[in-house]
Amino acid sequence: MQIDDYIKAGKIASEVREIARTKNWVGKTLYEICESVENEIRSRGGKCAFPVNTSLNELAAHYTAEPNDPKVLTDTDLIKIDLGVQINGYIADTAVSISYDSEFDMLVRTAEESLKNAMSMVKEGVRSSDIGRMIEKTVKQNGLIPIANLSGHSLEQYTIHAGKSIPNIWSIGSFSLSVKETYACEPFVTTAKGLGFVREGKTRNIFGLVSKKKTKNEKANKLLDYIWENFNMLPFALRWITKEMDEKEARLLLEDLIKNKVVRAYPVLIEANEQRVAQAEHTFIPTPTGAIVTTL
């Protein structure tokens, strides 16, 4: 495990998250927000580990801006800005929720509080189910509901979701945190009217390589090579490709790669009762006495 690269990525991610937290994004398009945050990452010597997520209101996760996305942020919106930084494939994953409507301030505060409480109990050997229990308890004490089918995750080089899950509720079946692994913890919180689950939406604008298997389409194979060289197995956005080729052609070639099961498309995740969702997230490495929170 390259702790230096994890820490370097975390420092950049933390700085960029705090810039995003304090900026007034009202009146900006989602395209402008994504491009601004991603440029802050690059200007500090980092690479994006995945497209910046700008999920609004009842969208919990997996929305990134379309090329020239016209959607404008208003002062009634709650936005989750979820960003990732990688150094040599070692990832820092962090998120902040910003509410411009005081009615939803408690959602944001509860997501942050449950994350803070989870981080306070982390050390080598702690069970993942106990972290979930702490998050659930904190959220419910504030009269809100945790999202049960979203979770944190283990991280590996060039792999964001590396197989282990850190739940946001108490759950049967768990594992002990290891000093040899890196994890992301990310509470998702919805209102008392929420169902506490997310469902998949129709929009799919984040993609990821599944294999390097060539297709019968030569142009699609060139795009496949470009994806591998630039993003490896990490997620990417259509707008990253349209900087190199025509949008219409890029869409067609991506569809071909998806049809051939070389690329997967990630659906947006929507709170099942269409209630607003807040998120907070840190990346951490357990130690025998606590945690190195790389994105603090």
Cα–Cα distance measured from residue 182 to residue 154, given in angstroms and rounded to the nearest whole number = 6
Catalytic residue among 58, 66, 113, 186: 186
Tokens of 62: 């997996």
Asked if 159 and 90 touch (Cβ cutoff 8 Å), the reply is no
| 153 in active site | yes
- Residue 207 CB: number of other CB atoms within 10 A? 23
Q: Where are the alpha helices (DSSP H) in 83-168?
A: 105-121, 128-141
Tell me how far apart the alpha carbons of residues 178 and 240 are, in angstroms, rounded to a whole number.
35
The active-site residue, picked from 112, 161, 181, 274, is 161
Instruction: Classify residue 140 as left (phi > 0), alpha (psi -120 to 50) or beta.
Output: alpha
Token pair belonging to 230: 């630039």
Q: Choose the catalytic residue: 66, 136, 153, 271.
A: 153
Contact 215, 254 (CB under 8 A): no
Count other C-beta atoms under 10 Å from residue 186's C-beta. 27
Residue of 5, 38, 256, 281 with catalytic role: 281
Give SS3 for 241: helix
- Residues 218 and 224 sit within 8 Å (Cβ to Cβ): no
The answer to whether the beta carbons of residues 234 and 158 sit under 8 Å apart is yes
Strand order in the sheet with 182-185: 165-167, 151-155, 182-185, 282-286, 291-293
Is 186 assigned a catalytic role? yes
Is 281 an active-site residue? yes
| H or E, element range at 225 | helix 218-231
Full strand arrangement of the beta sheet holding 277-279: 145-146, 188-190, 277-279
Catalytic residue, chosen from 40, 93, 136, 256, is 93
Catalytic residue among 66, 82, 113, 256: 82
Residues identified as active-site = 82, 93, 153, 161, 186, 281
